[in-house]
Amino acid sequence: MSKTKTQFVCSNCGYISPNYLGRCPNCGEWNTFEEESVTKTDPQKVNTSRVSFEGKKSRPQLIDDVDAHDAPRFQIESNELNRVLGGGIVPGSLVLIGGDPGIGKSTLLLQVSGQLSQAGKRILYVTGEESADQVKMRADRLKVNQNDNLYVFPETDMTAIREAIANVKPDVVIVDSVQTMREDEVASAIGSVSQVRGVTADLMNVAKTNNITIFIVGHVTKGGAIAGPKTLEHMVDTVLYFEGDKHHSYRLLRAVKNRFGSTNELGIFEMADTGLHEVANPSEIFLEERLQNATGSAIVVAMEGTRPILVEIQALITPSVFGNAQRTATGVDRNRVSLIMAVLEKRAGLMLQNQDAYLKAAGGVKLNEPAIDLAMAISIASSYENISTDPRECYIGELGLTGEIRRVDRIEQRIREAAKLGFKKVIVPKHNLDGLHVPDNIEVVGVTTLREALKTSLKK
């Protein structure tokens, strides 16, 4: 006979405690324990081995005997999503997509379902938050291709979902969302830590044993993390975050984990009435509203994975009213701003200790690579000296604590992107000039120190 007991589970890391604790001893987070009821079953009656729908079981075998049939990735019409996934969808992979409510997760996956069904793939769209009629209405509004390969299944019970997958035999399954699904063997409320973990483990077995690609939609908490235990992200193959500002129409898709590709890739979409449209050239978007002859502005060629993007770094330096100067940053690391201002004061003689500094990466993009240091330093000095930079120049380089400009990677790709958008001059680290092939329509200037870069860029 099964027994029921009460336990407390940390929603952040999944740590289990028999009693309530204010702070989790495993991850150190406060007020993350949730109470849940667990029914103990006879271990002999529980079958947790991996068995496919055809009855094939996993077995130990020599690695030389493994049939490594190279299942090719299948492409989507959206090149942005293909890039973030590492070149396309890997058969048998488990992909988790998280994001704020209303950001466009369901819209993206419904559009992808239509594209894949049109390409001949069989799709099963499992929705636990909407009815079939509501999904149909949204598909009509988005003009999603609807044919015999696209199935909609409004259900939350995992037993029924497994039966539907076995009957339909889809190539791709969409689960929207994992927090609404229920595993019968787990005796706790829908959306609890145990339910989310059990549902994900069940979907992982289905994906791996039957070579079916499964996309899971995950809700996020107020802190921006995917709701549920942190082990949820460890169980899946790929974790994608859908980001964006509610006041802007652009959406950014980032991979924070990818077993089959890079985690540095970035996909950019624009939300419209007819759904999400991919942005082929994001650099033009980030620079289209730049003012001419504005002080405190500098253009950097940043790398997002394999893609170079030109972004405007804006700085505003004003005298401090309070005793301690403020350092505020949006889209760039605040600690990096403080470090660069310290180097400017020590190595370039700018008195910034009594100045408030406000820095921003225009367009809502987040930059976090060393190559943006030089552009940040130029923008800060430009605002402080009230001298505008040349709108046809861009800046690439890492700034050292002794004031040296250090080399960066993929310099030729960055320069080609700047030349393609009409820039006439780019300032780079001098050590990057060795063996460099420069396009004919752009001038490349190498600098060694911060003082040399400021003297080259800021001319009264």
Integer Cα distance of 49 and 57 in angstroms? 8
- Confirm whether residue 229 is marked as ligand binding: no
Between helix 334-347 and helix 450-457 the angle, nearest 10°, is: 90
- The per-residue DSSP string of 90-131 comes to PTT-EEEEEE-TTSSHHHHHHHHHHHHHHTT--EEEEESSS-
The answer to whether the annotation marks 383 as part of a ligand binding site is no
410 neighbors 301 (Cβ within 8 angstroms): no
Among 268, 269, 276, which residue's Cα sits nearest to residue 143? 276
Q: Does 363 count as an annotated binding residue? A: no
**CA separation for the pair 370, 170 (Å, rounded):** 44
Residue 105 is assigned to a ligand binding site: yes
Is position 100 annotated in a ligand binding site?
yes
Q: Is 37 annotated as a binding residue?
A: no
Q: Can you give the C-alpha Rg of the chain in angstroms? A: 26
Query: Is 266 within 8 Å of 304 (Cβ atoms)?
Result: yes
Residues 6+ apart with CB under 8 A from 355: 317, 318, 319, 320, 325, 384
Please say whether the beta carbons of 107 and 143 come within 8 A.
no
Q: What is the separation, in whole angstroms, between the first and last Cα of the chain?
A: 86
Question: Nearest CA to 295 among 312, 315, 311, 310?
Answer: 315
How do the residues of the chain divide into helix, strand and coil, expressed in percent and rounded to 5? 30, 30, 40
Strand-pair partners of 360? 314, 330
Residue 327 has phi, psi (to 5 degrees) of -130, 110
Separation between Cα atoms, residue 311 and residue 283, nearest integer Å:
7
Q: Do 266 and 284 touch, CB atoms closer than 8 A? A: no
**114 appears as a binding residue in the annotation:** no
Annotated binding-site residue? 299:
no
Annotated binding site for ATP: 99-106
Residue numbers belonging to the annotated binding site: 99-106
